[in-house]
A and B are shown apart, each in its own frame.
Chain A
């Protein structure tokens, strides 16, 4: 055997292709063979996962739809038999040559011996090389039949969690064990893919050796075949003189947040001043500003619990229902093209009523899922009007109610989650017997199948089942991770009832998802973030906090108001946005208040509120706020678009853009929406002009209370009165001053 091999090599060398690279290749090949002789190298268990790990079958490389450089593999090795054929038989068998292994393109290309656009992926002696070379030497067989019965049951990643004190080297070796259905375990560290959630300041190599350059917290996601796992690594700062500041623990949320801060040795900010907190809680609960009168009354209230009482009052105000209906109208895609004008209004009103009455979110979800009939008379059925096919309904359902992103599983098993294509279509099957009858639909264009402007009657017909497109198998309805819709119940509404029951009856994921969303809307960042991306590899930043939110939500009867009240009463919510001077906590730790650009509707409404302008309204009654409009932003003003009002075509919070852009600066500086409010003859400025003739200081104060919800500082009064006095045109000077408050950062941001 050895002689034959040597002869082949000699022949090869004689061919005039000798060079160092080849020699290295040849020599290392023998070394690899020696090691590989310990046991047979598995195509399914080692070679394919290795190609995934090296990125060979990823989207930008050979996993691309069109392949790369003539080699096309299935995406992340999903089709093992076809990849085996491609590797061993295509390209005249040059990719894998069992008779002359070192000439295999599978080795020569990624090692750089032949030009490879993807660069050098490994070198001789690497474990990757040994596996590939060994597999080829052993005959490059597909062991699918041999290993097919043994299934991967899970990964054990060690360490699961580590808190490392300062002073120690900041590196950790992560080990991955694959657990198989026959009870055996195998170390697959060298075959696993590692992803760090936050790549700045830390690196991990192919062998699972993690290294942090600074103190901080990282989550390493681990993938091997279909299995997933995570390792949480915390490297502490060296703060020898750290002393806890004993921030008040008003709620269990505070305890959870502060416990973590203490361990991290970081200090929360001091609590925000009364006026800052008052502005914040108005904006977060209602989406409007406090009026100057409300501020004065609050200022003069001497009672200890005046904030709590304020919260109690605010949460019962009609703006609360408007504001939270708006958030849910985004998620449930209440947009006029599919909903029609009347349907749009009806659904908006229904949503608003639910929040005004504070119905249990269990009931809310159940109504949306199970209601059928006319969307005009039973608006909850609109869920089935906007989600017009089973796949879309399944995606919306899982994203909104479970916080899972199922979309990946439509075409292939989810790469970074447990969901399979069968889970996806099992859920879709539940919605498969929904039918819609368009009533009085007068399309402006008869070809436009998307426009439904009359009523829609949702009804059920036949069985809830669907054909899985890849396998061709007929799937019965099954909630993800739940039981099949019972076969005994053949009534057409059985599947929807089954799904609603599964969702709302003691389903922790439902509870945690909704509690996390409420926290996100009030605090500015989810405990799991993004809020609709719950998965093992995106764990909660503070598990104890998420548990407490879940408990509080359950205790409050799954209602929004008790949970919202509890959150805004917490110390964490009341913290200032300025970092603590020593050992500052971050927004991600919830140790200081998040500074966030206000949303499009809120900004437009408070521009009007601050300027005292009543904006003409073509879509509803005069004085209606942007936050009350039922429509999505399809034909809306430029201002709303630029500040990110969504078109409601996705059931994702991410559709509402929070980016800050230059276009926004132009809108605030020179845009029509702002100019109109400023330059109108019927706004606050006429009043301020009159007042400033006798008492300029009070006029400035009045403006500050109206726009910035605080009293002006002495220097501000001084400078502004001077500016007003020195201008020739006092109307214009007042416009300038009002404009300046609208462009101040404390106006534009929730802080």
Chain B
């Protein structure tokens, strides 16, 4: 077999910590009045974040609804982006066979695929992602993602909540003792500005490994901050929103009649005069009915408004149309969109529609199923977003909950096992340094050789990008203050 070798033994690796040091010293030398001014302008009360805020659509609960009219936007670090699209590749994509290839590793580790050159000089990518090779310059790669959680549900929870799970167990379950989804925290502290839209949308299914993966919902933040979850496949011709679709025997006029009858009955008990809770429900009823009759959200979800050509380019797959929908939602003003690549895992080697959990037939599945879908959708998406100028104010995150083991051979000789010790995540847009390869793994892709990045750091980076201080505290059901992230925002990834 002819192996295409990378020109450079090591991938490009840049460290920016020295830069920040220089910055620090320069700051010391600016005249002191300036410093005082800067200091005065800095936010003083960060705890006020706890007391204000309102959710979007389904995220709107009563106290916040009442407050919504009174509070202005929240203070925090200056936001870099308006929205985040979080693409989660459920199962754990093999970093070694995709973005962080190791052609010089021994046989039995390096795998079947060859690296090809890309739009970034000296950076390679797997040969089965030829389209991706042309758009790689849009992305920042973090090659040193690392944690120690080996089970999907626990690792998945870590990745989508940004908090280490209390136990590394396959059946870690959602409870109010676990942390909320990153998107839920975002809708708590930086909800979308249009109250007619949800702040946080997730689809096309919940992820699960046997039982449902925790961390996909709002946990102790309360149902008001749950994602607007759509368990529907956007690639189906009959894709629609169940809540926003009235049955055929319910014309709008009938709904109006009904609402009129309720109004009349409500006058009798006069609960609306004396109870804030009751009048809140009344406002929700009004709102629900106006949403059933209005078109804004329905339009955002209406993929048929996209040209067929573009829909084809994204790929007529669940993932392709989900990513297109993500772009539409963000365009219409949704703050945080999560797309899960797969519903369930464990289809390894059977060629089904499972996730990236390639214990068996790693190479066949990657080549025939996983990489073609990815290579169709993501390059289309990034160019579409770039041409619309959306990368200016949107952060795109592509990650999985772990990588795959360097040593080939797991449940069958062609499989790769779980490997959280080193994997790759991509980000793009939002002022990130396009083309930067951050950190490096060792010669087999087993461990980082530079400072590891934890899912906590990735979540902190997302929060900071949206203008939320990662040290902001939220309060759990027992009144305990808990930080939204214990990680460090990776500022060196941004211009």
Does B bind A? yes
Which residue numbers of A lie inside 8 Å of B, CB to CB?
A: 17, 19-22, 55, 59-61, 64-66, 68, 112-120, 199, 337, 405, 407-408, 444-445, 447-451, 533, 577-579, 595-597, 642, 644, 647, 649-650, 652, 654-655, 657, 659-666, 668-670, 675, 708, 713, 715-716, 719-720, 723, 732, 736-737, 739-741, 743-746, 748-749, 751
| Residues B210 and A445 in contact, CB atoms below 8 Å apart | yes
B426 CB, nearest partner CB in chain A, Å:
24
Interchain CA distance A318-B237 in the complex, whole Å: 51
Contact mask for chain B residues 472-495; partner A; CB cutoff 8 A; 1 contact, 0 none:
110001111111001110000000
| Residues B39 and A112 in contact, CB atoms below 8 Å apart | yes
Residue of B nearest to A443 (CB): B171
Q: Could you list 29 examples of A-B contacts with CB < 8 Å?
A: A17-B32, A21-B32, A60-B46, A60-B472, A60-B473, A65-B483, A66-B487, A112-B36, A112-B39, A114-B35, A115-B42, A120-B40, A407-B478, A448-B171, A595-B277, A597-B281, A644-B223, A649-B177, A654-B477, A662-B57, A662-B287, A663-B243, A669-B289, A675-B247, A713-B268, A739-B258, A743-B258, A745-B282, A746-B268
A695 CB, nearest partner CB in chain B, Å:
20
Contact of A119 among B32, B44, B288 (CB under 8 A): B44
Residue of A nearest to B30 (CB): A115
Residue of A nearest to B51 (CB): A199
CB neighbours (8 Å) of B473 from chain A are 59-60
Residue of B nearest to A748 (CB): B281
Q: What bracket does the count of chain B residues touching chain A fall in?
A: 35 or more
| Residues A647 and B175 in contact, CB atoms below 8 Å apart | yes
- A447 and B269 contact, Cβ closer than 8 Å, known pairs A112-B36, A595-B278, A675-B247: no
Interchain CA distance A61-B43 in the complex, whole Å: 13
**B78-86, B141-149, B259-267, B311-319 - the one binding chain A:** B259-267
Contact of A60 among B47, B176, B265 (CB under 8 A): B47
**B3-11, B58-66, B397-405, B443-451 - the one binding chain A:** B58-66
CB neighbours (8 Å) of B284 from chain A are 660-662, 664-665
| Residues B262 and A577 in contact, CB atoms below 8 Å apart | no
Residue of B nearest to A587 (CB): B275
- A450 and B44 contact, Cβ closer than 8 Å, known pairs A66-B486, A662-B60, A743-B285: no
| Residues B478 and A113 in contact, CB atoms below 8 Å apart | no
CB neighbours (8 Å) of A739 from chain B are 258, 261
CB neighbours (8 Å) of B249 from chain A are 732
CB neighbours (8 Å) of A21 from chain B are 32-33, 36
Residue of B nearest to A538 (CB): B479
A79 CB, nearest partner CB in chain B, Å:
18
Interchain CA distance A112-B33 in the complex, whole Å: 10
CB neighbours (8 Å) of B177 from chain A are 649-650
CB neighbours (8 Å) of B275 from chain A are 577, 595, 745, 749, 751
CB neighbours (8 Å) of A448 from chain B are 170-171, 210-211
Contact of A715 among B36, B264, B272 (CB under 8 A): B264
Contact of A666 among B32, B170, B173, B288 (CB under 8 A): B288
Interchain CA distance A671-B261 in the complex, whole Å: 19
Q: Is B471 an interface residue (CB 8 A)?
A: yes
Contact of A650 among B175, B262, B469 (CB under 8 A): B175
Contact of A578 among B46, B264, B273 (CB under 8 A): B273
Residue of B nearest to A70 (CB): B24
Interchain CA distance A263-B205 in the complex, whole Å: 58
Contact mask for chain B residues 238-255; partner A; CB cutoff 8 A; 1 contact, 0 none:
000001001101100011
| Residues A657 and B223 in contact, CB atoms below 8 Å apart | yes
Residue of B nearest to A739 (CB): B258
Residue of B nearest to A22 (CB): B32
CB neighbours (8 Å) of A408 from chain B are 478, 480
CB neighbours (8 Å) of A741 from chain B are 265
CB neighbours (8 Å) of B385 from chain A are none
A127 CB, nearest partner CB in chain B, Å:
19
Q: Is B169 an interface residue (CB 8 A)?
A: yes
| Residues B477 and A578 in contact, CB atoms below 8 Å apart | no
Interchain CA distance A444-B171 in the complex, whole Å: 12
Interchain CA distance A115-B25 in the complex, whole Å: 12
- Which chain B residues (3-56) contact chain A, with CB distance < 8 Å? 27, 31-33, 35-36, 38-40, 42-47, 51
